[in-house]
């Protein structure tokens, strides 16, 4: 089977789709044939972030229902040779997503030679989110250093450990990776924001990376270009590091330390 990665969080707006787009792009740039699937049935978004919204003809539900085959529904990414997008349906209701249907799509993708399938989970803990994580081998838990996001991540970890196929069948558990996003080293330094170490201590899963808070993410989504493609951007570098660590390469953490101003500056200028 292709390796299935779910990008999930429980809470909305933390950076799941941004992460799905960048991780799948990163894997494709490394030469792996990769598909990225939008599981947010009803609220399609991944196509916009990937910049392929005008080329959507068929979607995941069409494929599940047998109204289109995968070759018709998969959209080839405009930047990468090995990357394909399977968009979510905007019109159907989410009960159309069945476990058997999703399993068949994943099997068919495997037969087509895909090595990685990235599942972009919707927010919440309802059907769509559960479907996205059911067949996962790896889970990226995207968490903002903020109370509600951390709590929701813990909830979704509980669901992962009880409802994923690996859990139900008693196989080796889904490999969990903590991705702390929208991180501001200055605010952490000032004691205004949980540090990535705090978040990791609370959730007790291995850290795969820290994505700094950045204006670049909006610039990337404005253009429909995954953030990992941006030139001279901390966010792009941070995502490249995440992909490298996922592929078992050593990369030290970056963008987590704030350069402290000197004592004089603290006494006379700024707060």
Interface residues with other proteins (CB under 8 A) are 146-147, 150-151, 154-155, 158, 161-162, 188, 190-195, 198, 202-203, 267
Of the pair 162, 222, the CB lying nearest other proteins is at 162
Of the pair 103, 146, the CB lying nearest other proteins is at 146
Name residue, tokens 């390796």.
Answer: 3
Q: How far is the CB of 190 from other proteins (least distance, A)?
A: 8
Of the pair 112, 202, the CB lying nearest other proteins is at 202
Of the pair 187, 245, the CB lying nearest other proteins is at 187
Q: What are phi and psi of 9, to 5 degrees?
A: -165, -20
Of the pair 163, 245, the CB lying nearest other proteins is at 163
| 67 touches 46 (CB < 8 A) | no
Please list, residue by residue across 26-62, b when 16 or more beta carbons sit within 10 angstroms of its beta carbon and e when fewer do. Answer: bbbbbebbbbbbbbbbeebbbbbbbbbbeebebbbbb
Handedness of CA 178, 152, 49, 115 (dihedral sign): positive
Q: How far is the CB of 264 from other proteins (least distance, A)?
A: 12
Q: How far is the CB of 193 from other proteins (least distance, A)?
A: 6
Of the pair 90, 161, the CB lying nearest other proteins is at 161
Q: How far is the CB of 147 from other proteins (least distance, A)?
A: 5
- Tell me the CA distances in angstroms from 3 to 34, 37, 124, 127, one per residue in order: 10, 13, 24, 22
To which H or E segment does residue 27 belong? helix 16-29
Q: How far is the CB of 206 from other proteins (least distance, A)?
A: 17
Name residue, tokens 């970890």.
Answer: 157
Of the pair 113, 191, the CB lying nearest other proteins is at 191
Concatenate the DSSP letters of all residues of 199-263 into one string.
HHHHH-S-EEEEEEP-THHHHHHHHT--GGG-TT-HHHHHHHHHHHHHTT------S----PPPH
Q: How far is the CB of 111 from other proteins (least distance, A)?
A: 35
């Amino acid at each position: 089977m292709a390796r299935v990665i779910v990008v999930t969080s429980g809470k909305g707006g933390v950076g799941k789709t941004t992460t799905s787009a960048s991780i799948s792009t990163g894997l494709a740039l490394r030469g792996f044939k990769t598909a990225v699937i939008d599981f947010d049935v009803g609220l399609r978004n991944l196509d916009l972030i990937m910049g392929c919204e005008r080329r959507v003809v068929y979607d995941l539900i069409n494929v599940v229902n047998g109204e289109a085959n995968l070759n018709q529904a998969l959209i080839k990414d405009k930047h990468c040779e090995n990357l394909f997008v399977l968009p979510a349906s905007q019109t159907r209701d989410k009960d159309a997503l069945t476990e058997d249907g999703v399993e068949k799509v994943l099997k068919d993708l495997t037969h087509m030679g895909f090595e990685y399938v990235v599942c972009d989970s919707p927010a919440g803990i309802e059907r769509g989110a559960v479907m996205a994580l059911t067949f996962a081998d790896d889970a990226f838990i995207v968490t903002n250093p903020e109370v509600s996001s951390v709590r929701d991540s813990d909830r979704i970890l509980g669901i992962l450990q009880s409802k994923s196929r690996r859990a139900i069948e008693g196989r080796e558990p889904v490999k969990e990776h903590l991705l702390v996003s929208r991180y501001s080293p200055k605010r952490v330094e000032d004691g205004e924001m949980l540090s990535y170490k705090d978040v990791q201590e609370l959730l007790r899963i291995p850290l795969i990376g820290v994505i700094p808070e950045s204006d670049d993410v909006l610039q990337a989504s404005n253009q429909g270009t995954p953030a990992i493609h941006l030139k001279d951007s901390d966010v792009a570098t941070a995502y490249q590091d995440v992909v490298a660590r996922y592929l078992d390469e050593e990369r030290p953490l970056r963008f987590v330390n704030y350069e402290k101003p000197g004592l004089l500056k603290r006494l006379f200028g700024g707060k």
